[in-house]
Amino acid sequence: MSDVKTLGVVGAGPMGQGIAQIGLQAGLDVVLYDLNREALENSAAQMFGFIEKLEGKGKLDPGATDSAKARLALANGIEDFAPCEAVIEAIIERLEPKQKLFAQLEGVLAPDAIIASNTSSLSVAEIAAGCSSKDRICGLHFFNPVPLMRLVEVVVAPGTSQAVADRAVALSHTIGKDPVVVKDGPGFLVNLQGRAYTQEGLQVVQEGVTDPATLDRIMRDAMNFRMGPFELMDLTGIDINYPASTYIYEGYQHDPRLKTTTLHALMFNSGDFGRKTGAGFYKYADGAGAVTESRAASANPPSFSPKIGESSADLDALAADVGWFEGNDVTLIAPIGEDCSSACARLGLDPKATVAVDCTARSNMHLTVMAAPGGGAMAAQVANWLRSKGFKVEQIKDSAGFVLQRVLGMIANLGCELAQIGVGKPEDIDLAMKLAQNYPKGPIEIADWLGLEKLHTIMRTLQEISGSDRYRPSLWLRRRALLGLSAYVAD
């Protein structure tokens, strides 16, 4: 139970309005302020309209609208926040105005009142730098639209006291949110963790492995992501996700795991920001969307009698599904983290007669095939044959880790790194990404689902083949993989 009875909100834009609305719906007294009085009054009217609609639908108790009107006070200045036990700032996303506001609030509020920022990117510690009582300052990062999104990140800066963090969590529960406690840092948890999905997708496409539509289909069809990374970037806006990626990369001292691509920069510089401009990675003229369907089998698929090029439980299971017997038409392999070229060289196989199959999502009836240079025609025939057996199949160019292993590996590895450096607990990392980004599994869940030994192999192999520390395994992952432990085992 929260000790906050009167909640202050500074800023009557969409975020501030949403925070004030859920405070009213939770039965709190709310003080709302904005420098623009007209905007403040319009925000109040919109809030009451939303609450009235919810009351009319039976989602709020009878009389909720009248009660909300009685409990909302429109402030004339900062001094009107004096009765508040907590104030949440939701003003312009610039450091100097926030610092000035926090200093003003310190002079008005009771010594034990919480002062919180809804910043999505700025350091809470830096916002609090000029304050005399840093222990009562934290972040409460809500997601838009506030009344609908369940997650709130409770951001703990170095100076934030445990008592204030606990009170902020209790307040979040009171206003109907699911809080996760995260450490202050660039991107906090959600925006930091979200880099892996989009930026590895960008890296795969920049390498020429496949195109955005195919990669998006793989992530949707194979793993049930609601959107592929390119659909997601077009939706949020490349004018938003490119600067965020750059800010987080610089904030984490140019960690290669967080580096974006020249393709991303090119899209940003072109002004093709996605849905808002009518074009991004996809075209949106006349209401057209980004979603494309996977290919169906042709009317006369070829018949194959493959042989297994390397003993593999994945291929044994696929053979049982498809019902093939050992033959000599084509050699199938199922590499983990490896490209087809490397596997052919290692095993002494003919690259023109060898096709690599990613069975990671076989249980979801999804496969990806690829071949070494010169083997594309054979891979296309194998893909069509497997489609005739009921699988959704995508063909890509040769790539260490295919697509699915790479993208899932980066998501899971970054999740393990966030646990390692204390950004959040493993369970909170999962919850945050499922609530804020609609992930079908959280990053740590993906790690355990893949298997830590397999995940560790994927990342080490990607690092070896690419020569890039972009793929270096997190120490959290490495230690648990070597010991046969779950990714959820704490230190």
Could you report the per-residue pLDDT of 165-203, keeping only the tens digit for each?
999 999 999 999 999 999 999 999 999 999 999 999 999
From start to end of 236-365, where are the E strands? 307-308, 331-333, 354-358
Question: What's the mean pLDDT in 329-352?
Answer: 97
DSSP assignment string, 177-211: -EEEEEE-STTTTHHHHHHHHHHHHHHHHHTTS--
Instruction: Give 157's pLDDT tier (boundaries 50, 70, 90).
Output: very high
Same fold flag, 6-183 and 191-287: no
* Share above pLDDT 90 across residues of the chain, in percent, rounded to a whole number: 93
Annotation: CATH topology of 6-183? Rossmann fold (3.40.50)
Q: What is the 3-state secondary structure (H, E, C) of 259-270?
A: CCCHHHHHHHHH
* Share above pLDDT 70 across residues of the chain, in percent, rounded to a whole number: 99
Q: One of 191, 241, 312, 384 is an active-site residue; which one?
A: 191
In contact, 51 and 68? CB cutoff 8 Å: yes
- Helix, strand, coil percentages in the chain from 3-state DSSP, rounded to 5: 50, 10, 40
Could you report the per-residue pLDDT of 3-35, keeping only the tens digit for each?
999 999 999 999 999 999 999 999 999 999 999
Angle at CA of residue 58, ends 56 and 62, nearest 5°: 75
Would residue 153 show up in a list of annotated catalytic residues for this protein?
yes
Three-class SS state of 370: strand
Instruction: Give 327's pLDDT tier (boundaries 50, 70, 90).
Output: confident
At 324 the pLDDT is 84
Would residue 191 show up in a list of annotated catalytic residues for this protein?
yes
Angle at CA of residue 408, ends 219 and 397, nearest 5°: 65
CA–CA dist 407, 94 (Å, integer): 33
CB atoms within 10 A of CB 203: 21
Task: Indicate the length of the chain as a whole number.
Answer: 491
DSSP 30: E
CA–CA dist 221, 301 (Å, integer): 22
Q: One of 153, 231, 338, 445 is an active-site residue; which one?
A: 153
pTM over 0.85: yes
In contact, 118 and 140? CB cutoff 8 Å: yes
How far is residue 131 from each of residues 77, 115, 186, 239, measured CA to CA in Å? 20, 11, 21, 32
At 288 the pLDDT is 64
Would residue 254 show up in a list of annotated catalytic residues for this protein?
no
In contact, 280 and 273? CB cutoff 8 Å: yes
pLDDT tops 80 at residue 298: no
Which CATH number is correct for 191-287, 1.10.10.60, 1.10.1040.50, 3.40.50.450, 3.40.80.10?
Answer: 1.10.1040.50
CA–CA dist 216, 426 (Å, integer): 26
CA–CA dist 393, 375 (Å, integer): 17
Q: One of 43, 117, 118, 120 is an active-site residue; which one?
A: 120
Average pLDDT of the chain is 96
In contact, 84 and 73? CB cutoff 8 Å: no
pLDDT tops 90 at residue 481: yes
**CB neighbours of 17 closer than 8 A, spacing ≥ 6?**
32, 43, 46, 47, 146
Listed residue (326, 331, 402, 325) closest to 361, CA to CA: 402
For the chain, give every domain's residue range.
6-183, 191-287
Compute CA 244 distance to the chain's CA centroid, rounded to the nearest angstrom: 13
pLDDT tops 80 at residue 447: yes
Would residue 399 show up in a list of annotated catalytic residues for this protein?
no
At 287 the pLDDT is 60
Could you report the per-residue pLDDT of 70-81, keeping only the tens digit for each?
999 999 999 999
How far is residue 377 from each of residues 295, 332, 352, measured CA to CA in Å? 16, 14, 9
Q: One of 43, 55, 118, 141 is an active-site residue; which one?
A: 141
- Residue whose pair of structure tokens reads 């960690």 in the numeric block: 255
In contact, 87 and 79? CB cutoff 8 Å: no
The alpha carbons of the chain give a radius of gyration, in whole angstroms, of: 26
At 389 the pLDDT is 93
Here the tokens at position 189 are 């948890």
How far is residue 218 from each of residues 43, 345, 407, measured CA to CA in Å? 42, 27, 10
**CB neighbours of 292 closer than 8 A, spacing ≥ 6?**
213, 216, 217
254, amino acid identity: H
CA–CA dist 179, 202 (Å, integer): 31
Could you report the per-residue pLDDT of 98-117, keeping only the tens digit for each?
999 999 999 999 999 999 99
